[in-house]
Amino acid sequence: MKREIIVVTAAYGQQQVNALGGQSALIPIIAAAGADGIEIRRELFCQPSPLPLDSLRQQIAQAGLHCWYSVPEALFDAQGALNAQLDQLIAEAEQLNAVGLKFSLGHYRPGSDCHALVNRLQRTSVKLVVENDQTACGRLQAMAAWCHHQGEQPLTSALTFDMGNWLWVGDDPLQAAAQLAHQVHYIHVKAAIPHQQHWRAVPLDEADNLWRDTLQHLPAHVPCGIEFPLQGDDLVAVTRHYVELLRQEQPQ
């Protein structure tokens, strides 16, 4: 079975997205490159309101793509409470006909009552996935605690595994894969190199094999999202190159 490849609109960079006229302009590019889906980013909408969700849904469906929806929000706020906008954000994902809705974890506290979250997720077909971000809340210890304490509630424990973000917080992607692979429902493929005492995301061809080694330790049946820079004069060709490269990466 071939890998399902999703292209994250943020991979093209906000400046490029704006220059093209918004995320809708990327749909034909991503479809022509042979990808299976697109990840729409809420923070990249050119207009804050109203969001063009109905139009995007129609264009994505016409292109034959699946949709994922990413919001720049934490699932739990600084006080450990569930995101107050959860219902609205799920409704937006439903309007897009999205397969999944991606949050960062935020300030989850082990033992928090998640019944409200479970109850809400039982009323939607959208899969909620929590990503390790580039903050302390996205460190392996925090993500492992979330998975451990929510392990009996599979609705709440699905992860987006961003293989590059572990580097930003000082964790080992391979160790994270070993601990969390059984909870991973979506993978963000991201390579990075050291840059000014930090890290910088780079195309896979410019990186070492850490991304490839990490991918080998993650489930082969879950979608892979391209979230490293996609740049060049021919965006279809550049995107197709990496779509095909990832499809060729079969588990050993």
In the block, residue with structure tokens 């937006």: 92
Can you count the helices (H) and strands (E) in the chain?
A: 10, 10
Yes or no: say if 64 and 31 are a contact pair by the CB < 8 Å rule.
yes
Provide mean pLDDT across the span 118-135: 95
* Tokens found for residue 138: 């996205």
- pTM: predicted TM-score of the whole model, two decimal places: 0.96
Name the pLDDT band for 49 (thresholds 50, 70, 90). Answer: confident
Name the pLDDT band for 156 (thresholds 50, 70, 90). Answer: confident
CATH 3.20.20.150, domain 5-247, yes or no: yes
Yes or no: say if 85 and 114 are a contact pair by the CB < 8 Å rule.
no
Does residue 184 have a pLDDT over 90?
Answer: yes
Yes or no: say if 92 and 121 are a contact pair by the CB < 8 Å rule.
no
Provide mean pLDDT across the span 182-200: 93
Q: How many angstroms separate the first and last alpha carbons of the chain?
A: 14
* Tokens found for residue 173: 């992607």
**Distance of alpha carbon 69 from alpha carbon 103, whole angstroms:** 9
Q: Strand, helix or coil at 184?
A: strand
Q: Domain-by-domain residue ranges, the chain?
A: 5-247
Yes or no: say if 136 and 171 are a contact pair by the CB < 8 Å rule.
no
Does residue 195 have a pLDDT over 90?
Answer: no
* Tokens found for residue 159: 């992860």
Peptide bond just before 50 cis, omega within 30 deg: yes
Q: What is the pLDDT of residue 252?
A: 59
pLDDT digits (tens, 9 = 90+) for 138-152: 999 999 999 887 765
List strand residue ranges (DSSP E) for the chain, in order.
5-8, 37-41, 66-76, 100-106, 127-131, 159-162, 184-189, 191-195, 198-202, 224-226
Of residues 106 and 149, the one with the higher pLDDT is 106
Provide mean pLDDT across the span 178-203: 94
Q: What is the pLDDT of residue 197?
A: 79
**What DSSP character marks residue 181?**
G
Provide mean pLDDT across the span 14-18: 95
Please name the helix (run of DSSP H) or strand (run of DSSP E) that holds residue 92, with its range, or none: helix 86-95
Kind of pairing between the strands at 191-195 and 198-202 = antiparallel
Name the pLDDT band for 153 (thresholds 50, 70, 90). Answer: low
Q: What is the pLDDT of residue 2?
A: 83
